[in-house]
Amino acid sequence: MRVYVLRRLLGIVPTVLMITFVVFVMMRSVPGDPVVALLGDAYDEQDAIKVRASYGLDQPILVQYAIWLGKLARGDWGVSYMTGRPVLKDVLVRLPVTLELIVLSMAVALAIAVPAAIIGALRQNTWADYTATTIAMIGVSIPEFFIGVLLLLVFSIGLGGLLPSSGWTYLPGTCPTMVCGASLWGNAQHVLLPAIALGVGRAAILTRLLRASMLEVIRTEYVTTARAKGLSERPVVLKHALKNALIPTVTVMGLQVGFLIGGAIVVETLFAMPGLGTFGIDAIIARDYQQVQGFALLTALAFVVMNLVVDLTYTFLDPRIRYA
Amino acid sequence: MPMRSSRLATLILIVVACIVAAPLLAGAQTPKRGGTLRVSYGNEIAHLDFHTAPGYEMMWVAMNVGCGLVNITPDGKFVGDAAESWHTSPDGLLYTFKLRKNVLFHDGTPVDAAAVKFSIDRLMDPATKSGMRSFYDSVHSVEVLDPASVQIRLKQPYAFMLHMLAAYRTGLVLYSPTATQKYTLEDRKQGKPEAVVGCGPFKLVEWVKGGQLVMERFDKYFVPGLPYLDRVVIRVIKDPVTEMAAFKAGEIDFIASFSPDHVETLKAQNPRAQIMTGKETTPMLAAMKVTVPKDGKPMSKDRAPHPVFGDLRVRKAIGCYGIDRKEIVKIAFQGHATPWVGMNPPGTLDTVDVNYVCPYDQAKARALLAEAGYGPGKPLTFELMTNTEKSVFSVIATVIKEQMARVGVTANIRLVDKVSWMNTTLNDGPWDMYVEDLLSLITLDSNAYLSNSTSTWTHPRHNDKRTDELYARYARELDAAKRKAIAREIQEFFVENMYWNNISGSPFYMVAQPWMKGYVYNAEFEVHYDRVWLDK
């Protein structure tokens, strides 16, 4: 197991490097020049040439990438062209907000998907199944921003400002700013609507998948055996059927992290949250290559690590699985 | 007799009522001290070096953290800021400012003549790369006469010196020499409070990009009793729907720039909201490229006419007669703008209505196109570039496309993001026509750097030196009546040559909660919180 984990961890390095390289090349292929955005009203071609040279932007792409990589090896993620702030510091400030959003939206997704899938599978072709399937279909079809706007209209405006429409309150002890009203309750209020907006679509996908797996599993012989042994329905479903049906679902959950990061960009923008998603989109719009690289590196790392965790979870769900 | 006593009783009642009500009424208008103003910006602040950062959002911070020599009121009068008085020499070459004695920077150092010289010299230094530098072209030098007197010597008379110092972009923002020399440019760009030291009513407390910007009252501000607020907290809400929701829920007190598309909805949702707008000072234009580099090298001085719009007949057919400005205003702005072909929007100093030069006339447009060789046998097609910064740009582009079809021309819309647009236009890239609203203009003079023949910001790249000569004459003319005549000449010249193709003014809105008091809409650039107080 230890060897397996080590091997996988080593495998992460080329994967992440590949992603950062692709992003590096793609960003430089996108029309637009960070120096134009940086100089703004003071733009002058002669100044622009000097600024490009000072940032090494006049070098060939491979040389630029090698420089970036060299700095990264020394723990230097670069500094923003626009603000001069260290990229690592900026992404670390924003990471907790996005992590919390992603974890909670996944929790929302599971809280909806697991019961809906179980009901749908156990009562196949009944009104309960049809309801769960239809809701899942609707959830898949509606984009995050639309659900987000609906939630805003209902909970922030319609119900007299029951929940805040935007902004962020940090968890106690995590506030990166000097002026900050951190509180658990405030944090819960701020994260609820974005987590639902982001989680509903995932819930729909997981419901459909888990329902199909459950249908397959509950017809297997070991479930029949469990029932024949006289076990009540509850342990049969939760212990024997669900645990095995979760394996493909967990795989998809790992892959869904990527979609959640993408969805976080939309949801964070809509709810004006100071997370990694808004950081990434701002960086791309401003062509702040250093910040985009930092964003890509961190999200790539999050994605591959999450998938490693998912793979390791298999051993818990199915003890027959062994890694060597 | 009873009649007389009843009148007397009524009179007494009125007097008593007035005596009782007077303090109450007065109390309702007496500013209250304290409180936090929660402000929403639609875009992120680029960075916090006020002398170099682009964008309105930075400017709105700069004019609260910083102070200058003079300010301008909404009706165009100049009032002293750090300067208590000033006078100009008869030849218009010397501006002498007498400074107030009690003005301090936030680090406790005095705002003296040396500090003024330091700040202007910094702006004029090419190494600073300030967007304000071109505005100081007329300045020869700055001299310290004594600690409280500073003199600006000009190379030639400049009629808009005070306008420039007060309100061209941020106006002159004075920097503490001590803090500026002690800390680096990077420190200021990052918004480190000890590095961003001005002399305005609020001092910077912190800026977390993507999070919030906090300013607090500067207790030693030179105007006694001001500011009223304890604190201003600014955060960015990019989505107008979220912004409206936050406003409706009372989470924010002030929206510094509100999307014109959503004004009616916000009004309906919040009947008590203060929706503020003012004179139209921002031009909404459909610019046409006039020349292209002959050698294919961007920004080359060797120019050739643009394949489509290099021909004045085509520019006039499309931009002058082919565009129905009234229809655009009706569709894109629901009538809340003025169709305006002149380059100086209707709310700008010395503006002239030259709409008569370009009446919407499809027949004339077709005739000019035919004269230029276009027609059914050789249809004209061009690319209409627009960007994603404001949704209204795309609406206007769509209407223009439809209007072009009416005169047999095909306009293909290309939608790009703002940086790509800037990159293409500033770097002399390939484009035919674009829709944009550029920036607020306080005077026609401030438009020179967007439209003379030499500026990088003159996107159409016309190379007509006459524009430079006209602008120079206008800026140097000290007689207001003569200046007005030159202003007319400039505006007619630009329309006749279609170097600048205006559609209308671009409306600008600010929105405040009913409890936000004391705020006066000045101009798009000018957002001051020093007299704001909260009545709640």
The two tokens of residue B437 are: 């609203």
Per the CB < 8 A criterion, the answer to whether B99 and B149 are in contact is yes
Here the ipTM equals 0.79
Average pLDDT of the residues in A197-211:
91
Does residue A178 or residue B381 have the better pLDDT?
A: B381
SS3 A124: coil
Exposed e or buried b for every residue in B99-109, given b needs 16+ CB within 10 A?
A: bbeebebbeee
C-alpha distance from residue A273 to each of A48, A125, A298, B237 (Å):
33, 42, 18, 9
Does residue A10 or residue B360 have the better pLDDT?
A: B360
The two tokens of residue B535 are: 């009545």
pLDDT of residue B309: 98
Does residue A218 or residue B181 have the better pLDDT?
A: B181
Q: Which of B241, B417, B456 sits opposite A152 (nearest CB)?
A: B241
Q: pLDDT tens digits for A115-156? A: 999 999 988 889 988 988 888 888 888 888 999 999 998 998
SS3 B404: helix
pLDDT of residue B380: 97
Q: Which of B54, B211, B245 sits opposite A156 (nearest CB)?
A: B245
The reply to whether residue B456 touches residue A176, judged by beta carbons under 8 angstroms, is no
Q: How many CB pairs under 8 A join A and B?
A: 150
Site of tokens 């955005």: A37
Average pLDDT, chain B: 92
Per the CB < 8 A criterion, the answer to whether A131 and A112 are in contact is no
* Gap between the Cα atoms of B222 and A239, Å rounded: 74
Average pLDDT, chain A: 88
Provide, as residue numbers in chain A, all residues whose Cβ is less than 8 Å from the Cβ of B238.
269, 272
The reply to whether residue A94 touches residue B210, judged by beta carbons under 8 angstroms, is yes
Provide, as residue numbers in chain A, all residues whose Cβ is less than 8 Å from the Cβ of B55.
40
Average pLDDT of the residues in B393-416:
96
pLDDT of residue A42: 72
The two tokens of residue A305 are: 């690590």
For residue B6, name the pLDDT band (cuts at 50, 70, 90). low
Does residue B527 or residue A139 have the better pLDDT?
A: B527
CA atoms within 13 A on the CB side of B138: 22
Q: Please tell me the pTM assigned to this model.
A: 0.84
Q: pLDDT tens digits for B242-293? A: 899 899 989 999 999 998 888 888 999 899 999 999 989 999 999 999 999 9
The reply to whether residue B189 touches residue A84, judged by beta carbons under 8 angstroms, is yes
| Strongest mean pLDDT among A183-192, A200-209, A239-248, B214-223 | B214-223
Does residue B391 or residue B362 have the better pLDDT?
A: B362
Does residue B264 or residue B499 have the better pLDDT?
A: B499
Q: What are phi and psi of B37, to 5 degrees?
A: -90, 125
Tell me the percentage of chain B whose pLDDT exceeds 70: 95
Q: pLDDT tens digits for B204-253? A: 999 988 889 999 999 999 999 999 999 999 999 988 888 998 999 899 99
Q: Which residue of A has its CA nearest to B124?
A: A42
Q: Is the pLDDT of residue B16 over 80?
A: no
Q: Which residue of B has its CA nearest to A154?
A: B245
Q: pLDDT tens digits for A87-115? A: 999 999 899 999 999 999 999 999 999 99
B517 strand-pairing partners: B533
Amino acid present at B470: L
Question: Top-level CATH class of A87-317?
Answer: mainly alpha
Q: Is the pLDDT of residue B46 over 90?
A: no
Q: Is the pLDDT of residue B21 over 80?
A: no
- For residue A66, give the nearest of A17, A30, A31, A12 by alpha carbon: A17
* Gap between the Cα atoms of B347 and B323, Å rounded: 22
Q: Which of A41, A84, A279 sits opposite B54 (nearest CB)?
A: A41
Average pLDDT of the residues in B328-339:
94
Q: Which residue of A has its CA nearest to B51?
A: A42
Exposed e or buried b for every residue in B120-134, given b needs 16+ CB within 10 A?
A: bebbbeeebbbbbbb
Q: Which residue of A has its CA nearest to B269?
A: A157
Does residue A38 or residue B70 have the better pLDDT?
A: B70
Go through chain B and tell me how many residues it has.
Answer: 536
Q: Which helix (H) or strand (E) holds B85?
A: strand B83-88
Q: Is the pLDDT of residue B9 over 80?
A: no
Does residue B178 or residue B76 have the better pLDDT?
A: B178
The reply to whether residue A33 touches residue B133, judged by beta carbons under 8 angstroms, is no
Q: How many CB atoms lie within 10 A of CB B189?
A: 23
Enumerate the H helices of B203-304 as residue ranges. 240-248, 263-269
